[in-house]
Structure 1
């Protein structure tokens, strides 16, 4: 199970392996949706519902080819591995402390803040990588590889350019992770109790080591709970996600010697979080705060499902194959 469990024989360090693998798999599968989401969020043209989703996808495919959907993928892998593994790792450590020290009546409240703290730690850790990656996803030719991208970002605004959008990232990632972990940890056990009996007897040699349910039931429950967690977390925090992206390109300057894709031109950019939200609301209305919401929710649900399910399956496999069986 995600979070600290008293009978689990996996240590937080061992679960870190599961977090790294989960992050790697999640990024590879969801990268194309991230490209579409980003460019939809930053376009100045009205974009509501799916009206910009399919045109943006077709434009990228026609002008830049299928590989464009994986622009910034190397940095994305590093970003995802660090982000997902740090979220799970910090959540494991903080929930262990809560479960062992906090009165049972107050645990739910503190477990939610464990998720917020995990999200804030993750956001602070990966924000420099995210800034470079976002710009690579917009204009790959201008920002090149990791080192050349870092040099370009530094040249555009100094060391502070790597932390553009940090405030919005903390306000988005903290509550988002709190909601995501909280919903998942509440819903997954309910589904498991409903669809699957606990493993007992000779069929469940690890019933006292963390693998209480069979893997197929864990996968089903993790998929359903992860989908709901991703939907709720992203919906409640989406305006900050939109602002974060627009802040992360605030110092970006187009290089006239580099061909800029049509979907990366005429971008909306911000320099201040609250001004960004205020101006978006003023110029685009309330729905402007949710530009690109549909593709973002699809991506968030897919990310949540893959991340949680992969994490649970890797932990299950580690208990089964890497740790001596308990008689």
Structure 2
């Protein structure tokens, strides 16, 4: 499992390396889905009504009008964002679960505290990467206006100063904290079950001896657990994710006015949630859910499996 293990031989630096590698792999693979997902989430109701396009048709439209490179708009910032984000998530979770494991807290409270370790990891990450996330989102919408990290940061700063970099941070905290907490909890519940099934052993033995399994077993178990983790965590917190995206472009002013008018924006979390409900009821709060779930599952699978396999490789050195 991910998290503190009493007999684990890895050092903190090795786990940092594993998290960094996981972040790099995850972003490179999921970037195209992120671009399509973002554009679908931010379309105004009028544009969606006119287009009547599903996300796979939107993908074809992006490719036809902008070329293959459009799917990697904002990739440099996204890559830095992903590496910092996953490194922070895994590291904070490993350190905090260790603190819980060695504490004198009664065992009945430890499962809840371990879940809160995941929430802490998600919240810490949200605060850390918020400026990069705002720049990345705007680069996906207008590459030329926000070209490069430095120029992108300068353009964001022009709108509302330093506060521009933290637009949507309250929604980000409400979404990312619980999402990461649920994600780790689901992964750590499902993975040992899959390993136990494959090895016909009791669950407790699988927990303590996970690093003795073949990499193929770790890969399969992590893939299944990662898929379940991504589906559950993103589904539960999705309305906050949608609100976060729309708040992150609240001060966005595109040089291309038609593009700017097509976007859904809001300035507060309550405003976002109310408008999403008015837009199309409960369905409005889950706009773009389908492609987001696909992306969340792939992200979770790649991040967990690459992290686990990297840890496995380092243990063999």
TM bucket (normalised to shorter chain) is over 0.9
Write the distance in 1 (CA, Å) between the matches of 2:208 and 2:280: 55
> Normalized against structure 2, the TM-score is what?
0.93
Write the distance in 2 (CA, Å) between the matches of 1:193 and 1:175: 27
Is contact 1:8–1:208 with CA below 8 Å preserved after alignment? no
Q: How many residues align?
A: 308
Write the distance in 1 (CA, Å) between the matches of 2:261 and 2:149: 22
Change (3 A) 1:21 1:253: same
Q: How big is the alpha-carbon RMSD for the aligned residues of Structure 1 and Structure 2?
A: 1.9
Matches within 5 A, 1:31-180: 31-45=31-45, 51-101=53-103, 102-180=105-183
> Normalized against structure 1, the TM-score is what?
0.90
Write the distance in 2 (CA, Å) between the matches of 1:210 and 1:234: 27
Please state whether the residue corresponding to 1:269 is helix, strand or coil: coil
Give 1:324's aligned residue. none
Write the distance in 2 (CA, Å) between the matches of 1:244 and 1:105: 35
Give 1:18's aligned residue. 18
Is contact 1:8–1:210 with CA below 8 Å preserved after alignment? no
Write the distance in 2 (CA, Å) between the matches of 1:103 and 1:36: 46
Change (3 A) 1:7 1:75: same
Q: State the Cα distance separating 1:55 from its structure 2 match.
A: 2.5
Change (3 A) 1:265 1:32: farther
Which aligned runs of 4 or more in structure 1 are off by greater than 6 angstroms? 207-210
Give 1:284's aligned residue. 280
Write the distance in 1 (CA, Å) between the matches of 2:11 and 2:273: 42
Is contact 1:209–1:319 with CA below 8 Å preserved after alignment? no
Indicate whether 1:187 and 2:183 are aligned. Answer: no
Which segments of 5 or more consecutive residues in structure 2 lack a partner in the other structure? 202-206
Please state whether the residue corresponding to 1:268 is helix, strand or coil: coil
Describe the superposition over 1:30-70 as per-residue Cα deviations: whole angstroms up to 9, x where unpaired. Answer: 0000000000000013759x943023112211111000000
Give 1:325's aligned residue. none
